[in-house]
Structures are given as C-alpha cells and as structure tokens.
Amino acid sequence: MRRHLRDPYVKQAVRRGYRSRAAFKLAELDERERLIRPGMRIVDLGAAPGGWSQLAAQKTRPGGCVVAVDVQFMEATAGVTFIRGDARDPAVHAAVEKALRDGRADLVLSDMSPNLTGVRPVDEARSQELALIALATARRLLQPGGGLLVKVFHGSGLDAVIRQMQGAFAQVGIRKPPASRSDSREAYAVCKGLLVEDRIDRVFDRSA
Ligand SMILES: C[S@@+](CC[C@H](N)C(=O)[O-])C[C@H]1O[C@@H](n2cnc3c(N)ncnc32)[C@H](O)[C@@H]1O
C-alpha cells in the first residue's frame, strides 16, 4: 500500500483522471510504437477498471470506436462500448463483432491477467493461455495488416506463444514500458501486420 501511494504513476493517474496507472503503460508503448490513430476500431480485452479504454477512446477520436471486454464490471466511458464477460466465451465474441463497425477491428489490445495463485507453473500456464486467447481474437477480428498489443509473462511457455504470434504477424517485438514495475515478469508483445489468411496457413504448414 505504501509503495502504491508513493508511486509517481499513481499520483499522475489521479491528477489526469485516469482510472488506472496501467494507462501509462499503453501511453508509453503507443508513443514508441505508434499503434493508435484517429478513426481506428479497437478491441480492449481485460479492460477493467478502464484506463486503457479511456486512452484508446481519446486517441481514436474522431471517428473511432473502442469495444471493451472484462469479466469484471467497468463504469461507462465516453466512446467505449463495454461487454461484460469472459474473452473465451463465444457469446462474447458475437457481441464484440456486433459492436464493431463492419464487424472488424484494426487493433486488438489485451492487458488480461489471471488471478495469481503464487504457484509458478499454474500462474505461467494461465498467463500464456490468456495471451493465446488474445491472439485468437486478433486472428478472428483483425483485418489483414492489423495489430495486436498483448501482455505476456516471462517464463516457460512464452517462447511457444511468441512463435505462434510470429506465424500470424509480419513483425513481433517484446517491450517492457518504463511504467511496468521492474520486479514484475510482465512484458508486452507488439505484433504488427496481420498476415492474410492464406499466408498464415502457409507459415503454419511449413513449421508443422
Ligand atoms: C491488469 S487488469 C487490466 C487493467 C486495464 N488495462 C486498465 O487500464 O484499467 C486485468 C484485467 O483482466 C481481466 N481478465 C482476466 N481474465 C479475463 C478473461 N478471461 N476475460 C475477460 N477479462 C479477463 C481481469 O478481470 C482484470 O480486470
């Protein structure tokens, strides 16, 4: 609690009216990677309490839209359609598609984290599963050339997850924004340029 209160990002988040200090991670990643542009259609997985969605809605104006998904409740935010549910649930997939203009997205964001158990292999497996859910969402919803920004955790299984991302996107990089605590094993995979469907199939065939 003391660390939280002393944290300069927490103080700045309060001053700027952001709902979470996590908003600064997205701001820093976006400044470096130039991911978000006006008019974009964005899906934000694991969105509550809503810092990433707030920032994405600001940066996609005018003409953009943000569809936010979380198992937990999130307060309404201007320019954001919130769908409460599990990102694995087909009913949620259908609701997200319906909320998007033309049923397609330009960018998928995922800051999803599991409830940590403290048992390292369990936590690692759950984290890698959430990253793969985000990848599957991106492959289902993105138009060719679209991007994915997804939280990952260093540990066993991450290399295999990254290989799958590399099979689907032209460029994949791992970034640790300054706002991400140095003692946390979290990082973010920045995936750019979703390959068109037949290209993805060929890449997978070759590695099979
Ligand atoms: C670190 S928080 C996200 C913070 C958010 N980016 C922000 O800026 O406010 C992680 C969120 O992932 C959500 N989450 C975890 N697993 C999920 C799942 N399977 N489907 C939807 N949301 C999930 C949690 O409920 C939690 O709210």
The stretches of 1-157 forming alpha helices (DSSP H) are: 2-6, 8-16, 22-33, 51-60, 90-99, 120-141
Residues with CB under 6 A from ligand 1: 19-20, 22-23, 46-52, 69-72, 86-88, 111-113, 130
Query: Which residue from 66, 92, 113 has its CB within 8 A of the most atoms of ligand 1, so it is best to mutate?
Result: 113
Domain holding 36, by residue range, is 2-207
The predicted-structure confidence for 133-146, as pLDDT tens digits, reads as follows 999 999 999 999 99
Q: How far is CA 97 from the centre of its chain?
A: 16
Using 50, 70 and 90 to split pLDDT, how confident is the model at 198?
very low
Rounded to the nearest angstrom, the distance between the alpha carbon of 1 and the centre of ligand 1 is 21
- Write down the pLDDT at residue 12: 78
Is the pLDDT confidence value at 207 over 50? no
- Write down the pLDDT at residue 8: 77
Q: How far is CA 111 from the centre of its chain?
A: 5
Structure tokens at 146: 């679209």
| End-to-end Cα, the chain, rounded Å | 48
Q: What is the CATH number of the domain that holds 103?
A: 3.40.50.150
- Write down the pLDDT at residue 17: 79
The predicted-structure confidence for 80-134, as pLDDT tens digits, reads as follows 999 999 999 999 999 999 999 899 999 999 999 999 898 999 999 999 999 999 9
Task: Report the distance separating Cα 37 and Cα 131, nearest Å.
Answer: 23
Rounded to the nearest angstrom, the distance between the alpha carbon of 203 and the centre of ligand 1 is 31
Query: Which residue from 112, 137, 149, 150 has its CB within 8 A of the most atoms of ligand 1, so it is best to mutate?
Result: 112
Structure tokens at 118: 């403290």
CB count in 10 Å sphere of residue 125: 14
Rounded to the nearest angstrom, the distance between the alpha carbon of 155 and the centre of ligand 1 is 20
The predicted-structure confidence for 14-63, as pLDDT tens digits, reads as follows 788 788 889 999 999 999 999 999 999 999 999 999 999 999 999 999 99
Q: What is the pTM of this model?
A: 0.92
The number of distinct structural domains making up the chain is 1
- Name the nearest CA neighbour of 146 among 42, 45, 62, 59: 42
